Amino acid sequence: MSDKLRIGLAQMNPLVGDVAGNTALILGAIERARAAGAKLLLLPELAVCGYPPEDLLFHAGLPVLVEESLQEIRTASQDLAVVVGYPEYAHDRIFNSAAVFRDAGLIGNYRKHCLPNYSVFDEERYFSAGDEALVLDIDGWRVGLTICEDIWEVDPAAKARAAGAEMIAAINGSPFRRAKQELREQILVERVIETGLPMVYQNLVGGQDELVFDGGCCVVGADRDTHFRAPAFAEGLYCVDFARGSDGRAIPEAGELAPILSREESVYTALVTGVRDYVTKNGFPGVVLGLSGGIDSALTLAIAVDALGAERVHAVMMPYRWTSDMSRADAAEQAQRLGVKYSILPIEPIVSATTGVLAEQFAGLPVDTTEENIQARSRGMLLMAISNKTGCMVLATGNKSEMAVGYATLYGDMAGGFAPIKDCHKTLVYRLARYRNRAGEVIPERVINRPPSAELAPDQKDSDSLPPYDVLDEILEALMLDNLSVDEIVAKGIREETVVDVVERVRHNEYKRRQAPPGVRISGRAFGRDWRYPITSGYRHVKRK
């Protein structure tokens, strides 16, 4: 029996479906863990195929690739116990499992007990649940194994303790949202209180479509203190050490304690990570976006440059007669500060030609938002043309507040392959812009301070059509995160007419959101995977009498 145990925690960034590439990452982690003197290596949930694999699990070719990968990992497991997540195909079912290899042998296999089926998770669609505990003997240390959701419930950890575990290790595929690390460590403390055992938490990093994974590997001791925390969003192998106390209990030794990021820093880093991995993993050479001189496109440009580098970003100003001199100047200044390729493509000829062709169809009808939308769609057409010609992906620049109430033009400013700030309310956009400027003012201060405007009509302001953004965002948070009724939102002190108007706009514009590009999820409920409202519906959010 060894008096110390070193555990390696791999914060790796897999690519869903790239079994060969993921296996190479795993083998590299095994080599680094062995060189660091680790005796146990924890790799992420479903590390072999990437997380979440979704309907790829049903493809007949995936089990073959998974089996080949497991054989490679098994062979590499010399002088080291390796815990690796993989989809297990057995008895005409699929399990979310973890295989444990050591010295080229299989020494254990654990099947995830608790299958999340809420929010962005739908594991019951794919997996069957396990129910047996697994306790590993690693040089005399008894380590109970769990997978992700298992530690959010009581029974799996309790079963591991009853089976003789003296510590609990959890491998995870836990996506980021605001304040997620604090919540994770709170849950770990709850399991510690119930079992009396220290908890070892491992997680992956990187972007996968809308989801971003932030790592957050950590260790919580039986004393309920966090003894180790890896840097958020950072790939790497991190080692933690356990020693025997005078009473023989497993005690984690003090290690690195990376700070928990602030709300703005964590969200901004998640957005950068999401853009970087979506663009890179999908093989785009770069991105193109419309730079209007407003706050949303300004923040999106900063995120894109931080994610990809200025050389892979193309900003395009597309002025019309209503575009102010301030917007033109501010857009040019930001592009210059960030060093990106910058083009100016006036849309007056396109709008004039379009309205000319439609003149007979519009005869006798008043000017309205149709003419405004022609401007937005002219811009969308130019950006998509550049995308087609260069292969660069269009980044849409709309925020969550606009997406919620339909204050965005379908096939216009909603056009694009990815929408970085799609899950950021307008009030958060302002906070993120100020956060980004702390490291150097890349967004002109005037862009942040000026009243927001789509500039699709003379002297237009967002406030002409929408409630103040602090009020709008409060309503949206209450509706989306808390599922409150109109009555309950009004009880917060907001005018009933305003609440009813916003709620009805959200309902009416579902058809637009279904056609919007994906974007980074940073909240507890984002449009897309989290939000599944019917387009065709007779339900109305009315105030009870």
Q: Which residue is catalytic, options 148, 218, 392, 424?
A: 148
Largest CA distance in the chain: 91
The C-alpha angle 312, 316, 321, rounded to 5 degrees, equals 175
Whole-number Å distance between alpha carbons of 418 and 421: 9
Coil/strand/helix, residue 290: strand
- Six-digit token pair at 493? 């002190």
Q: What 8-state DSSP symbol labels residue 366?
A: P
Q: Which residue is catalytic, options 39, 45, 123, 185?
A: 45
Contacts of 294 (CB under 8 A, 6+ apart): 327, 447, 452, 453, 454, 455
Helix and strand element counts for the chain (H, E): 17, 19
Whole-number Å distance between alpha carbons of 366 and 377: 20
Active site residue 112: yes
Could you tell me the strand order of the sheet in which 167-171 lies? 135-138, 141-147, 167-171, 199-202, 218-220, 226-229
Q: What are phi and psi of 262, to 5 degrees?
A: -65, 165
Whole-number Å distance between alpha carbons of 332 and 429: 20
Q: What 8-state DSSP symbol labels residue 81?
A: E
CB contact at 8 A, 129 and 114: yes
* Cis previous bond, 52, omega within 30: yes
Q: What are phi and psi of 204, to 5 degrees?
A: -90, 175
Active site residue 148: yes
Could you tell me the strand order of the sheet in which 236-244 lies? 105-111, 93-102, 81-90, 40-42, 4-11, 236-244, 250-252
Whole-number Å distance between alpha carbons of 250 and 239: 16
Q: Which residue is catalytic, options 39, 49, 88, 112?
A: 112
Our CA dihedral for 90, 94, 98, 101, rounded to 10 degrees, sits at: 30
- Six-digit token pair at 155? 């029974």
Whole-number Å distance between alpha carbons of 383 and 419: 14
Catalytic residues: 45, 112, 148
